[in-house]
Amino acid sequence: MKQTLLTILFSVCALSIKGQKQTISHDSIAVYFNELKAASKKNIQLWNKDLYGPIILIDPKTRELYANEPDTEGILKHNGTIYSGILPAKINIANTAINWGGKRWAMIMLPLTSNRNNRINLLAHESFHSIQPSLGFTLNNVENNHLDQKEGRVYLRLELEALKQAVRSTSEKELQKHLTNALTFRKYRNILYKDSGNTENLLELNEGMAEFTGIIVSGRNNEQTKSFLLSGIEDFMKNPTFVRSFAYHTTPVYGYLLYQRDPSWNKKISAKTDLTDYFIKSFGIRIPAVLQKTVDKLSGDYNGKAIMKEEAEREEKTKKLIAEYKLKFIQQPHFEIKFEKMNVSFDPRNIVPLEDKGTVYPNIRVTDLWGILTVENGALMSPNWDKISISNPVKIENKKISGDGWTLELTDHYTVVKDESNGNYKLYKD
């Protein structure tokens, strides 16, 4: 079970951080494939490997998919210059990389943005995940729950404010100053929370490096890239939580700025590299010995007073929300479903860590041997990802069960039973 679980965790990928509002015509699909193919060929020196491989573009509403090559199961049919078909219900939809039909695919949800550079950025990001194992990088999507706590959020926000100023810098001296301050805030945050440096690094080596790749391959010029990085940070700040999406905006900034000095820096790292220490050394930065006094002094240069006030107010609201979730999923009767061979997709932007009890995912879809669970009003994932808890059922119709904001479609040989001793529900296998 443990190995299966890890495989699943690696397959989970963030839904696109950038909005995708523009509708598309089917005729555009081939254009999208060709855009990435050309951009990948132009930037093949980035990893000394072609990013362009098997790609699936999918409509999440209809599950209709379009691919640039056939599968081995006969689901994809030749359709002009592309291939099309319907994705089986057991496979979750997300912007990710998946093993399906005898191949490893980059999967991207439609519609894509009308902005060509942003479109290539996203396609290249997910294509990186497809080749990631061959580059020696382990796929990790660890949670960084300390970034939902007040101090964790404060010092991440201060780091990002310093990175914004680094991007805007007009001199080497100014750039060095803001990079030093950004990494000082980071080092202090990692001292406050045990092992946070490691868990942040794992996500940055995964999503951070994928987004760095997307930015380089996208074809933007220098000013466009700076604008993209800055607007990305501004959008990120509006997310309800930072725990799974921060790496989209930290590593890409450091990586892009270092790329201006050393276009081969990314080929010098491995899955064991500590990116924080690597950036400190590569930029020639000296971190102050006395961090607390330093960050207290520096915070005023990066809107620290307002950030701390906002985070104190958020903390009070979060305490109330956590209490509500504890009541719903732990203290009062609930429905607990154990995993056997699961796969999941979710939105990483609004999850709520529940201390040592796990994490609440407001929107999540789980497939397993027992069927398909679709949640739109919260579910508690256990800390080690071996079970999920939802509210008790309110309607049971044969193999379709539903409750407050969730539906469960069961496969044969599984039924829902109530434990009369405590009022909880569970799955029973014939």
Which domain does 61 fall in, by range?
2-135
**DSSP secondary structure code for residue 147 in this structure:** G
**Is the residue at 140 inside a domain?**
no
Residue 101's pLDDT is: 83
Residue 126's pLDDT is: 98
Rounded CA gap, 158 and 370, in Å?
45
258 and 386 inside one domain: no
Give the chain's domain count: 3
205 and 56 inside one domain: no
Coil, strand or helix at 65 = strand
pLDDT tens digits, 220-257: 999 999 999 999 999 999 999 999 999 999 999 999 99
Provide the CB-side half-sphere exposure for 235 (13 A, CA).
Answer: 14
Contact between residue 366 and residue 342 where contact means Cβ atoms under 8 Å apart: yes
Residue 23's pLDDT is: 52
Looking at the DSSP assignment, which residues form a beta bridge with residue 100?
A: 103
**Is the residue at 400 inside a domain?**
yes
Strand order in the sheet with 414-418: 352-353, 359-361, 379-381, 387-391, 334-338, 425-429, 414-418
126 and 163 inside one domain: no
Coil, strand or helix at 116 = helix
Who wins on pLDDT, 389 or 21?
389
Neighbours of 294 (CB within 10 A): 17
Confidence of residue 57 (pLDDT cuts 50, 70, 90): very high
Residue 21's pLDDT is: 45
**Is the residue at 236 inside a domain?**
yes
Residue 122's pLDDT is: 98
User: What tokens appear for 411 in the block?
Assistant: 């496969």
Phi, psi of 99 (to 5 degrees): -100, 115
**Is the residue at 79 inside a domain?**
yes
Listed in sequence order, the residues at least 6 apart from 317 whose beta carbon sits closer than 8 Å to its beta carbon are: none
User: What tokens appear for 191 in the block?
Assistant: 């001292």
293 and 157 inside one domain: yes
14 and 88 inside one domain: yes
Residue 17's pLDDT is: 39
128 and 153 inside one domain: no
Rounded CA gap, 422 and 205, in Å?
44
Residue 240's pLDDT is: 92
Mean pLDDT of the chain: 93
267 and 194 inside one domain: yes
pLDDT tens digits, 128-149: 999 999 999 987 767 899 999 9
Phi, psi of 13 (to 5 degrees): -135, 150
Per-residue pLDDT at 159 exceeds 50 = yes
Lowest mean pLDDT of 18-22, 261-265, 364-368, name the range. 18-22
Residue 141's pLDDT is: 67
pLDDT tens digits, 14-48: 344 344 444 557 789 999 999 999 999 999 999 99
157 and 271 inside one domain: yes
Per-residue pLDDT at 266 exceeds 60 = yes
Phi, psi of 193 (to 5 degrees): -120, 115
Average pLDDT value for residue range 354-360: 93
128 and 155 inside one domain: no
**Is the residue at 401 inside a domain?**
yes
Per-residue pLDDT at 326 exceeds 80 = yes
Out of 89, 114, 135, a domain closes at 135
Residue 24's pLDDT is: 58
126 and 195 inside one domain: no
Rounded CA gap, 204 and 233, in Å?
15
**Closest listed residue to residue 117, CA positions, set 35, 206, 41:** 35
Phi, psi of 414 (to 5 degrees): -120, 140
User: What tokens appear for 324 in the block?
Assistant: 């509500």
pLDDT tens digits, 165-208: 999 999 999 999 999 999 999 999 999 999 999 999 999 999 99
Out of 116, 135, 154, a domain closes at 135
**Is the residue at 242 inside a domain?**
yes
Residue 413's pLDDT is: 95
272 and 209 inside one domain: yes
Rounded CA gap, 330 and 383, in Å?
13
- Which amino acid is present at 232? G
152 and 124 inside one domain: no
**Is the residue at 328 inside a domain?**
no
Out of 302, 319, 351, a domain closes at 302
**Is the residue at 81 inside a domain?**
yes
